[in-house]
Amino acid sequence: MFFLKVIMQDVNINIKIFERGFNKAKSYYHDLGIPIIFSYSIECKQKDILCLLANNKENKFSVYWDQPSEGFCLAGLGCAFDFEIKKQNNFIKMNKTLFKTLENSVNISEEISIGPRFFGGHAFNLNLQRDVVWEEMGSGRFFLPECIATNKLDRTWLTISALIDETINFKEALNFFSQKLFSYKNKLCQKLPLIKNTSVNEYVNFPSKDSYNDIVLSALDKIRKGIIKKIVLSRTHKIKVDQNFDVLSAVQILRNSFPTCTNFLFKFFNNTFFGSTPERLVKKNNSIINTEALAGTIRRGKDKKEDTWLVQNFLNNCKEKQEHSFVSRQLKEKLEKILINLEISSVPEIKKLKNLQHLRTPIKGKLNRDMSILDLVQLLHPTAAVAGIPSEDAIFIIDKLEPFDRGWYSGPIGWIDFNGGGDFFVALRSALVKDNVAHLFAGGGIVSESIPLEEWLETELKLKTIISTLNID
């Protein structure tokens, strides 16, 4: 009992407020007959919440979500509740169940935006059978971490969540939350592993350069015949890494090198999917919706003068402008039916990354009807930036032409909060690490003026985002 009192003093639980929240969750359980999510948050001093994931061997589920330029970061460990998605029908069913679960949850926090969140995503094509690479990762999953660390504008909170039913009483719940907050707070004090090189024994491109050339030519033939207007083709680059590979080292490099991207990590069982994506699919805050068209790519210049010259040529490049316009037009057509006060620029801006530059058109509006964040994900995915035009025809052809399973690459990933808001990105510039093999993915849009060699070189540039995290020359 003395030890528990010491713990409670360290984590600063307000017992009266905790008891009120617990009793409310119990009341919901008795009324509804289903387990209720109960969450309790405290503020703490630690700033770098990636430390929460250090030395993480016992937890089968973990997540990291970092947007350095927005001063926003999330890290999660353990699993209090999860949904597995196997097919499109499962996604639709999960959408309803997940939001009902959140609506009935009880959240105790002094900060209105801090509380439980579900994290997850799904494969580019939910209707395909997963191959051996993605088999354990699965087609899709959303989970509520037992512990979530949130860093927002340099303030940090820890949130513990658990299911409340008839099997747990107040004292047991207080004991559980006190010990979990104490344990996870100490985890935040861990040191991150040093950034280090990873030994690489071999690599292979799949498809090969020659095969990729043939695939692009086949796609161009379908475009010329009018079957499709645009298609996005991807490839994978497999690298064998040694036992010393540490994904936290890779994530540190990504967040330092790509502060305007969303740097992410999902670990399910023995699979780690991580990357740095520049492309937001959709963000929902109350009824305000933000998205973007991101398509068209060139390299960065060697100096400021060359960078400026490249941008001028980029903005006047017919192929890049056509590729971008397909994406922005498709998004506009889908969104103008559900949004009022739609804001979309007629001229794209330039999004500059460390090694690449993209054409970007930000889009904003207000919902004219009740839609969840997952309704919006279902409406917008896949965009023309990762599939093509028309979408269904492009997806069918991608399935025939690409000789591998994309899995979660180019699928939607993100989070959903207890207020019904959420933020989803397209899983680009990413890799799946499994059994000491890193499967890297990159793709590019093919339109009528595309040249196979240039498309290969573009994917090489995109692959360097992840290759750089392994410190490979």
**Which residues are designated catalytic?**
230, 279
Alpha-carbon span 289 to 420, nearest angstrom: 13
HSE-CB for 135 with a 13 A CA cutoff: 4
Helix axes 391-401, 209-224, angle to 10 degrees: 150
Question: Amino acid identity, residue 8?
Answer: M
Alpha-carbon span 90 to 458, nearest angstrom: 36
Count Cβ atoms below 10 Å from residue 471 Cβ, excluding itself: 14
Structure tokens at 334: 């889908």
Cα→Cα distances 193→56, 59, 81, 433, Å: 12, 18, 29, 18
Q: Are 81 and 283 in contact (CB under 8 A)?
A: no
Structure tokens at 57: 């061997």
Structure tokens at 77: 């460990």
Displacement of CA 381 from its chain's centroid (Å): 13
Sequence-separated (6 or more) residues with CB below 8 Å from residue 25: 36, 37, 38, 106, 164
Alpha-carbon span 214 to 137, nearest angstrom: 30
